[in-house]
Amino acid sequence: MTDLTKLVSQMTLEEKAALCTGAGPWVTTAVERLGIPQMVVTDGPHGVRRTEDLDVIAAKSKPATCFPTASCLSASWDVELIAEMGEALAEECIALGVDVVLGPSNNMKRTPLCGRNFEYFSEDPYLSGELAAAYIQAVQGKGVGTSLKHFAVNNQEYQRFSIDSVLDERSLHEIYLPAFETAVKRAKPWTVMCAYNKVNGDYCSEHHELLSDILKNDWGFEGLVVSDWGAVHDRVTGLKAGLDLEMPGPKPRRVQAVIEAVEAGDLDEAVLDEAVRRVLSIVFKAQETPKGQSEFDRAAHHALTRKVASEGMVLLKNEGILPLQNPASIAVIGRSAKHPHYQGGGSSHINPTQVDSPFDELKKLAPSASFSYAEGYGEGLEHNLDLITEAVAEAQAAEVALIFVALPVVIESEGYDRKALDLTEQQVNLIKSVSAVQSNTVVILNNGSAVAMSEWLDGVPAVLESWMMGQAGGGAIADILFGRVNPSGKLAETFPKALQDTPAYLNYPGENGQVHYGEGLFIGYRYYDAKQLEVEFAFGHGLSYTEFEYSNLKLASKSIKDSDGLELSVDITNVGDVAGKETVQLYIHDQESKLVRPYKELKGFAKVSLEPGETKTVRFKLNFRSFAYYHPVHKRWVTEDGDFDILIGASATDIRLKDTVTLSSTLELPSILNKESTVKEWLEDKKGKEVFEPMFKEITASFTSAMGADTASEADIGMDMTGFLMDLPLMSLLDFQDASLAEAPETIVQGLLAKVRS
Ligand code: BGC
């Protein structure tokens, strides 16, 4: 093993500064004199985009398997499947000479409009964290590094290089950080990529709190922090904040700035040394697995892609029409049936080894049926009545119409956000016109994030969300439509009825360079729960060709300490006629808490495979964090005594079983009472109550009389005095009686505070 401390000490200032900036778009800087090799990094995340020419940022890339994008992966809710894909991805990295793959992308889906949602897992931090950890562990288990990105609060493409995401501390810690935290703590990614945007005023690339205090110190991240491509503004400030590696390079002026800062005493050389040590540790770790000397199994990976895609596709609606029952004639409608939309635009764009079109794959699985085809819509946004007329004629002449609808790339891609949730006007008209003449119509959607459907959904008996489904997605669609695979995907994001319903609607996309996260903790289903808004398809929703029954919810204990956690189990039975898979979801509901909490929060999930009639017991283990929330004044996760409902559901709106556990908190939290604390807060605080209660009655009585009444209820100003004084700061309450007090209000309150803190 290389002695890194020694190596760092042998490097010149120039070499060290150079090592912290890339030598090219995709390679780190080598130092031949000391045997320090270069390291190759490449996008990610759902395939390997290894450019043929490593010197060109957007060069043609070598053929690699294009797996389904994260929206599809996450809808599988299957950590083992994601691990299988991660291993295949690592094999391709090894074959293609890649040391670190730039993924997974782990940002939260704050608004369905975000153009890059296809690359992100979910609106739920728990689910995202679990899936990202599984991906990282699998890739790195094979000796290839990952880059967990984009850290942090990068939830829109609009002005992504500069926007300032302004949010409160609780939302940061409870919604936008946990998915990173889980992945970092559990899976130890080799690298973490900082985001382009600012968070509360500072660029992520210069964010000391995010990069050093939280990521490196609190979470114990040992790897290197790399910038997103072009995210660096001030290299020296970045280094001080904890940004170890700038990409892409070369950037001689930046290297020079670092050298000069050290020479001028503006940058402590120890800070640079630490960044260098981190970069070297990953560069040498990468060396342990030789690259570029093997081939990967294209056919096997293509087959895996088909499997992954079929597990992630979500059957949103089915009024008995699917699976197809050997129709003699099928009208296949929609351009994407022949030109599949299987991946998103931008940095993740893969040069696939092969692509299966839905049209060809459908024909293979139904050799005796007759197929017709109508394009239905063009590549862009143009309206063309002839295409609709032709499609309607084909649909009328067949027993079944399958409409393939893909959002055009001009609408959805990395680099820009969508303006609306709707399909194009032409596509909506196509669906309405075809379903008006053909009652057996199935809509198959290709998109990266929620779309609105209320304009046409009622007229269509079945809808399959097939996402950006990867290069073998065409086959996966055929498998599901013909029942060779029983669909088991469930939404990892809510499909709202309308854009106006969405959590960030009033705050997105921001103005004057800032976007305010005004909805706070309430993103995704947390918002729809709180507003009691009906959605089109709920988080966690997804149909199967069979039915599942939930029974026998058993809590190991009805009363627990937070430190012990809780074990519980539930039985799931396949009560239908075909084998299938069900994703069981566990949410908790805190019945009462001092600070506001979402109605429910996902804290566990499990995907089980069941033969007809089979029952399996699914077990969960909840821990301290499952019950805790982040307290911005205590600056830590806290639990409170109280009752929590354990909700077991098939989706966020389909809760099948419920029980309650009583939790006692083992935390001894310091009092957070201060000069401004209200009477109620004093009475709710354990120590505060002890010291304040003895004088409470007397003070209340003298306050009431100062207000001109004998009892609180007699005060003649049309209000309940008790309610009024509860929300009064103790100091103000005392102020009203200043003249009659032996000591000044300030002295009394300070005296009480001293007792509370002693
Ligand atoms: C993207 C990153 C990507 C990088 C390199 C950036 O624009 O945000 O996700 O890894 O480019 O292509």
Residues 499-514 have a mean pLDDT of 98
- How confident is the model at residue 703, as a pLDDT? 80
pLDDT higher than 70, residue 712: no
pLDDT in tens, 653-709: 999 999 999 999 999 999 999 999 999 999 999 899 999 999 888 888 888 777 776
- Kindly list the structural domains of the chain, giving each domain's residue range(s) and its CATH number in brackets, ordered by start: 4-287 (3.20.20.300), 302-531 (3.40.50.1700), 548-664 (2.60.40.10), 679-757 (no CATH)
Would you tell me how many other CB atoms lie within 10 Å of the CB of residue 440?
19
Mean pLDDT of all residues belonging to the chain: 96
Measure 102 CA to ligand 1 centroid, in angstroms.
Answer: 8
pLDDT higher than 70, residue 114: yes
Instruction: Choose which residue among 119, 157, 229, 416 to substitute to test ligand 1 binding: the one with the highest number of ligand atoms within 8 A of its C-beta.
Output: 229
Measure 85 CA to ligand 1 centroid, in angstroms.
Answer: 21
The answer to whether 108 and 155 are in contact (CB under 8 A) is: yes
**And the tokens for 397?**
């002449």
Percent of the chain with pLDDT over 90: 94
Closest-CA residue, ligand 1 atom 2, reads: 228
Measure 549 CA to ligand 1 centroid, in angstroms.
Answer: 44
Q: Is the dihedral of CA 231, 199, 120, 502 positive or negative?
A: negative
- How confident is the model at residue 327, as a pLDDT? 98
Instruction: Choose which residue among 204, 228, 232 to substitute to test ligand 1 binding: the one with the highest number of ligand atoms within 8 A of its C-beta.
Output: 228
Within 8 A by CB and 6+ apart from 579, the residues are 486, 546, 609, 610, 611, 612
Per the annotation, the verdict on 228 as an active-site residue is: yes
How far is C-alpha 177 from the chain's CA centre? 10
Give residue for tokens 């007759």.
Answer: 370
Atom nearest to 347 CA in ligand 1: 12
Among candidates 711, 571, 582, 588, which has minimal Cα distance to 644?
588
Instruction: Choose which residue among 28, 43, 349 to substitute to test ligand 1 binding: the one with the highest number of ligand atoms within 8 A of its C-beta.
Output: 43
- How confident is the model at residue 63, as a pLDDT? 98
Measure 248 CA to ligand 1 centroid, in angstroms.
Answer: 10
Q: What is the 3-state secondary structure (H, E, C) of 62-114?
A: CCECCCCCHHHHHHHCCHHHHHHHHHHHHHHHHHHCCCEEECCECCCCCCCCC
CA R_g for the chain? 29
- How confident is the model at residue 257, as a pLDDT? 98
Residues 212-226 have a mean pLDDT of 98
Closest-CA residue, ligand 1 atom 7, reads: 229
**And the tokens for 222?**
């040992």
pLDDT in tens, 605-614: 999 999 999 9
Burial 233-261 (b: 16+ CB within 10 A, else e): ebbbbbbbbbbbbbbbbbbeebbebbbeb
pLDDT in tens, 622-644: 999 999 999 999 999 999 999 99
- By residue count, the chain amounts to 758
Question: Helix crossing, 686-706 with 745-757: angle to 10°?
Answer: 160
Measure 150 CA to ligand 1 centroid, in angstroms.
Answer: 9
How far is C-alpha 665 from the chain's CA centre? 29
pLDDT in tens, 25-71: 999 999 999 999 999 999 999 999 999 999 999 999 999 999 999 99
Residues 112-119 have a mean pLDDT of 98
pLDDT higher than 90, residue 413: yes
Atom nearest to 195 CA in ligand 1: 8
* Ligand 1, pocket residues at CB < 6 Å: 43-44, 102, 149, 228-229, 347
Measure 228 CA to ligand 1 centroid, in angstroms.
Answer: 6
**And the tokens for 186?**
């559990």
Closest-CA residue, ligand 1 atom 11, reads: 229
Q: Is the dihedral of CA 281, 28, 146, 623 positive or negative?
A: positive
d(CA 123, CA 107): 9
Lowest mean pLDDT among 528-537, 658-667, 700-709, 715-724: 715-724
Closest-CA residue, ligand 1 atom 8, reads: 228
pLDDT higher than 80, residue 720: no
pLDDT higher than 70, residue 715: no
- How confident is the model at residue 716, as a pLDDT? 66
Q: Of these residues, 78, 124, 228, 244, which one is catalytic?
A: 228
What kind and span of H or E run contains 479? helix 473-481
- How confident is the model at residue 713, as a pLDDT? 58
pLDDT higher than 70, residue 141: yes
d(CA 133, CA 607): 17
Residues 137-157 have a mean pLDDT of 98
pLDDT in tens, 170-197: 999 999 999 999 999 999 999 999 999 9
Among candidates 550, 454, 447, 547, which has minimal Cα distance to 501?
454
Residues 475-494 have a mean pLDDT of 98
Characterise 242 by phi-psi region: left (phi > 0), alpha (psi -120 to 50), beta (else): left
Atom nearest to 415 CA in ligand 1: 7
User: What phi and psi values does residue 57 have, to the nearest 5 degrees?
Assistant: -65, -40
Q: Where are the beta strands (DSSP E) in 471-536?
A: 514-516
